[in-house]
Chain A
Amino acid sequence: MSVAPDLISGFIAFILTLLVFSYLLGDNPFFRAAIYLFVGVSAGYIAAVAWYQVLWPELISPLLFGSPGERILLTIPLVLGLLLLTKIIPPLSKIGTPAVAFLVGVGAAIAVGGAVLGTIFPQTGATINAFDLQAAAAQDVSPAEQIFGASILLVGTISTLVYFQFGARRFSGETIRRSRLVEGIALVGRIFIAITFGVLFAGVYAAALTALIERLTFLWTYLGSF
């Protein structure tokens, strides 16, 4: 009996995989059917997860069976959630604005704080510490290698930032362009940016290739199960 569900799920997965591969022939109804099915199933699954893993255990159940303190505290998210639901009703959409404002404000504050404390400051310090030869010696890295690597990092960072500097001057002949120094640095930054995009593309390709291999393995495994 346990084989049957795996067989059915495997068959569905096999069919859906072929439908997705049909996109090689272009946009077709089979591909669209697979996409719509994926979206629908995902939405249903997410709704189920939201109810069973969020609303019920975190809100409804405490309101019904929790202590009075919990109930009082949970009225705030309950009210905000109800106000947020009014966004789906245009005449009442303004009522949900406070809830949205709360979400946006808290989210923005957290994101900014995390970016400043978790990315900017540490990354700036790391760029500076790249020239720390003592640390490099501690890691058994030659100073030349460390300086070379740090220099590449510094040049790449500065040149990339200079590339996005669009200030220009008016030169003779009514041509407006950046100075030659800035143009030269920006050209280097442009190279670094191109390399970065190439790396990203390689990563995407590698991820997609891995997914293709996994799907082909699944197909072959499924077909081999018979």
Chain B
Amino acid sequence: MAVIRCPVCGKPNPDDLELCQHCDSSLKPTTAELDGVSEMIRPGEAPTKKVTAELEQTLPAWLRGARKSDQTEDKEETPSDALSPPPQKSVSIEEPAAEEDLPNWLDGLEAEAESDEEEVPDWLANLQTETPVSAEETAEPEDEPDEGRPAVDEPITATSEPVAPRTGELIATPEGELPGWLADLQAESGEAAETPGEDLPDLIVESEQQAAELPADSEPAAAETAGTEKGLPDWLAKLSAEEGPGAPPAEEPSRPAPASTPGEELPDWLSAETPAAAPPQEHEPEPAAAQPAQEELPDWISRLPADETPAGAKTEQPAEAEAAPDWLSGQGESEAAQPSAPVESAAESASPADNAAPDWLSRMSDVSPEMPAQDAPEQPAAASDDGVPDWLSSLPAVEQNIEQQPAKESTPALILDEETISEDDMDAIFSMEMPDWLSTLSPEEKEATAGEGETPAPEESPASLESAELPSWVQAMRPVESVVPESPGNEDIEHVIAREGPLAGLNGILPVGPGIGPFNKAQAHSIKLQVSESQQSSAALLEKMLSTESEPRPLSTPPQVLPARVLRWVIALLMFLAVGASTFAGTRMTPLASLYPPEVGAVKDVINSLPDNAPVLLVFDYEPGFAGELEAAAAPVVDHLMLRGERLTILSTSPTGAALAERFLRNTQADHGYQSGQQYVNLGYLPGGSSGVLSFAMLPPAATHETIDGLPAWDTPPLQGVSSLADFAALVVLTDSMESGRTWIEQTSGYLDDTPLLMVVSAQAEPVIHPYYESGQVDGMVSGLSGGAAYEQINGRPGLGRQYWDAYSIGLFMAEILIAVGGVLNLVAAWRARQTQQTDED
């Protein structure tokens, strides 16, 4: 029947008992109440804070056994089991997110990280003060029973196997910076192998000094160490007192004699740890030691799932090589240098131990100095104030699984290269709140090391560390800095790791940014313009066209016969002489044309077809500058109308039209004796342009109300019987503008009905208005002086047309001569220029 010790009184009890038969304390860990919590802590989950002070009393015995693994009652316990690496779980517990969450046994570590001696707990401060004590004093707590020792001060290792330092590669921890659990472990390995003092940090040097002071039998030394009540807390003192007697004597001889170096002291933790490490090196292989070691396992460890068993010893490898932490392995190497046979065996196992060193540990020397101590508080809280983390409390009871599974995996050891890691590095390492091996381990490394766990790493690279295989819950509690890459943006989305929050440290869970979603690396776009050949040719063509447009063309300046000003004067003089002479002389040399244009004859026919005294609308839409031409053209037409006695209504869309109409009647038709308001009425100005014309065409009385004299327009005799545009007998438009004439044609075409539309236009507007005559929209047209002269000839009443006709004819002839002469001169000039150019080319 197995015997279990009461976690309170430390006395042995049958394992079938629930309560201690001595103190009635619960023999089972209180975690049993959490057995129902089958859910393991998932990666990224932050353990819930719980007050686990009550658990202090019920912490598993394996923790105590870790320090007295070589002193347990079971003689069959193998050193390999005892050397099962504690760091994984122990450190995983030590992952506090904040200082206030630190367990007591981590307080000292945190305090050291901040270089604040005052924050070091008393027990740790006392322990540090006792560091220089002799090996006998430091070895004493190792032999003390666990009774009365606070469980929280014990390291909670990943495996139940207590760890004993094996070789001389020790964790170079600065003095006083070690947490309690580590100090305890070190205390168990009090008999550390000696290492050249000059290559070791002070801590190791001290530990070696202490080890040198230790006698071959470490029990007395341990007892003496325990006797230093001043340097240990009460619980530690009690623990030392209880465990001392209970230490198995079989292990004592197995401890190698500490090879002390003059002037060096082994620290108390090393002094206490070394004896526990020595026996496994010397004696039992790991398979044989696996079962006894698991007997020491706590319930929660035993119930761990097989895949999460962090540190099962590998049966196919030497126990010390697989299970022992590398730093212990290193210690073993140092011991291997000793001439004793056990040391040689330890040296043989040192190589596998080195090979088993995880990568994270090899990088620790590089990473640790770069990681400030203040980064540590960012880690998620993993332990309660009492030092028992929640995950530990919530672990299901899987002890049976642990027991059924052979130890397969080696626990990563904290291996530091003594040559490469300086004391500062060590400071940086231990200045963090959580162990560096846990900080630097990534899931990828864990997977990599899982495959490499059975293959020893090359020994030629001592810095390379073998990665550990951590359970998922440990991975989830790793520090973020060790998981999150420096530049996550350069990795795939699967490797994006949350930096904060409950999912801190997990990759591929959260998007890169809140609300942004997964981000990818920005697609690289070429800054080079991507154009095809056709586009390039088109662009070149456009550029060529633009360049030709922007380039000023040289004006072809033909050679001038005479200066422009002189030429202008000459032409003006010729015109004045030709026109003026005919005008001043009043000649009638040029006969009028016997043939007249059909449009002029159409006007005559239309006017002749008008009934007598019919209302005729005259629109004077010309400017004063063209009054001479329009008066000459319109005078025979209006004269014809007045001869027929038509009632004239004058309207103008030009402000000056009304005045020009009065002038026209006065200058050209004065002999008819037409009186305003009697034979004719001047409605004046019709505003609105096209709108006004349309308005008048739609309803004339609404468009105009009064005459130019202020009389009611539609009450005047000329407008009697007229209420619409169609009521007018004829519409005669006198205009010099093609736009004005077209407006009247367009806007009135729908309202004229049978009312003829006659146009008297300037010669310049005739080319535009003439098509309307061809289309039938205009019934007759008189254009310019020639049209007026022709109409005069039709009427047989000469007027201004005939008066101006000689001058007009001479002027046209002069213009023709000037055009011809100018053309000839230009041809001659061009011919001469071409001849000159040919001469120059020849």
Contact = CB atoms under 8 A, between A and B. Distances in A.
B815 A49 contact: no
Contacts, number: 151
Interface string B787-825: 000000000000000011001100110010000000000
A106 B565 CA distance: 48
Contact of A58 (B580, B627, B705, B742): B705
Interface string A88-126: 000000000000000000110011001101110011011
Given A49-B658, A211-B629, A213-B807, A203 B775 contact: no
B694 A114 contact: yes
Given A209-B812, A210-B808, A123 B655 contact: no
Nearest to A216: B583
Instruction: Count chain B CB atoms within 10 A of each CB in A196, A206, A210 and give the residue with the most.
Output: A210
A206 B685 contact: no
Interface in A139-175: 174
Contacts of B572: 24
Contacts of A176: 541
A210 B784 contact: yes
Interface stretch (B113-121, B345-353, B766-774): B766-774
Given A203-B762, A206-B785, A57 B710 contact: yes
A75 interface: no
Categorize the interface residue count of chain A.
35 or more
B628 A211 contact: yes
B691 A106 contact: yes
Q: What is the predominant secondary structure among interface residues of chain B facing chain A? A: helix
Interface stretch (B63-71, B270-278, B743-751): B743-751
B736 A220 contact: no
B658 A53 contact: yes
Q: What is the predominant secondary structure among interface residues of chain A facing chain B? A: helix
B603 to A, nearest CB: 17
Interface in A191-208: 196, 199-200, 202-207
Given A115-B746, A123-B771, A216-B579, A207 B626 contact: yes
Nearest to A212: B579
B583 A207 contact: no
A77 to B, nearest CB: 11
B812 A206 contact: yes
A209 B808 contact: yes
Contact of B811 (A49, A114, A204, A212): A212
A197 to B, nearest CB: 9
Interface residues of B, number: 65
A216 B810 CA distance: 14
Contacts of B575: 212
A53 B705 CA distance: 10
Contacts of B656: 42, 45-46, 49
B628 A214 contact: yes
A207 B764 contact: yes
A70 B584 CA distance: 57
Contacts of A115: 746
Given A203-B762, A207-B784, A217-B804, A53 B685 contact: yes
A214 B775 contact: no
Contacts of B745: 118-119
A209 B815 contact: yes
Interface in A30-63: 42, 45-46, 49-50, 53-54, 57-58
A213 B583 contact: yes
A71 interface: no
Contact of B743 (A114, A117, A123): A114
Contacts of A46: 655-656
B461 interface: no
A216 B575 CA distance: 11
B432 to A, nearest CB: 71
A220 B706 CA distance: 39
Interface string B680-691: 000011010111
B767 A217 contact: no
B831 interface: no
A50 B658 CA distance: 12
Interface in B666-706: 684-685, 687, 689-691, 694, 705-706
Contacts of B812: 206, 209
A110 B583 contact: no
Nearest to B626: A207
Contacts of A215: 628
A57 B705 contact: yes
Contact of A110 (B655, B747, B767, B772): B747
B806 to A, nearest CB: 9
A197 B811 CA distance: 20
Contacts of A214: 627-629, 631-632, 804
A17 to B, nearest CB: 11
A69 interface: no
A49 B654 CA distance: 10
Contacts of B767: 196, 199-200, 203
Contacts of B684: 49, 53
Interface string B643-669: 000000000000110110000000000
Instruction: Count chain B CB atoms within 10 A of each CB in A58, A174, A202, A209 and give the residue with the most.
Output: A209
B776 interface: yes
Nearest to A124: B775
Contacts of A210: 628-629, 632, 763, 784-785, 804, 808
Given A45-B655, A126-B776, A196-B767, A205 B815 contact: yes
B568 interface: yes
B625 interface: yes
Contacts of B584: 216, 220
Given A106-B691, A114-B694, A203 B807 contact: no
A126 B65 CA distance: 121
A73 to B, nearest CB: 11
A26 B568 CA distance: 10
Interface in B532-581: 537, 541, 565, 568-569, 572, 575-576, 579-580
Contacts of B776: 122, 126
B690 A111 contact: yes
Nearest to B807: A213
Contacts of A54: 685, 687
B317 interface: no
Contacts of A50: 655, 685, 687
A81 B689 CA distance: 16
A207 B763 contact: yes
A212 B812 CA distance: 12
Contacts of A207: 626, 629, 736, 762-764, 784
A114 B776 CA distance: 16
A106 B695 CA distance: 12
Instruction: Count chain B CB atoms within 10 A of each CB in A110, A117, A220 and give the residue with the most.
Output: A110
A58 to B, nearest CB: 7
Given A111-B690, A126-B775, A203-B764, 17 more contacts: A26-B565, A46-B656, A53-B658, A106-B691, A117-B749, A118-B746, A199-B767, A200-B767, A203-B766, A207-B784, A209-B579, A210-B785, A211-B629, A213-B811, A214-B631, A215-B628, A216-B583
Interface of A: 24, 26, 42, 45-46, 49-50, 53-54, 57-58, 106-107, 110-111, 114-115, 117-119, 122-123, 125-126, 174, 176, 196, 199-200, 202-207, 209-217, 220
- Give the top 9 A-B pairs by smallest Cβ distance, nearest first: A214-B628, A118-B746, A114-B746, A126-B775, A206-B763, A210-B629, A203-B764, A203-B763, A46-B655
20 contacts: A42-B656, A45-B656, A49-B658, A49-B684, A49-B685, A57-B705, A118-B742, A118-B747, A118-B749, A196-B767, A205-B815, A206-B785, A207-B784, A209-B811, A210-B763, A211-B629, A214-B629, A214-B804, A216-B580, A217-B803
Interface of B: 537, 541, 565, 568-569, 572, 575-576, 579-580, 583-584, 625-629, 631-632, 655-656, 658-659, 684-685, 687, 689-691, 694, 705-706, 708, 710, 736, 742-743, 745-747, 749-750, 762-767, 771-772, 774-777, 783-786, 803-804, 807-808, 811-812, 815
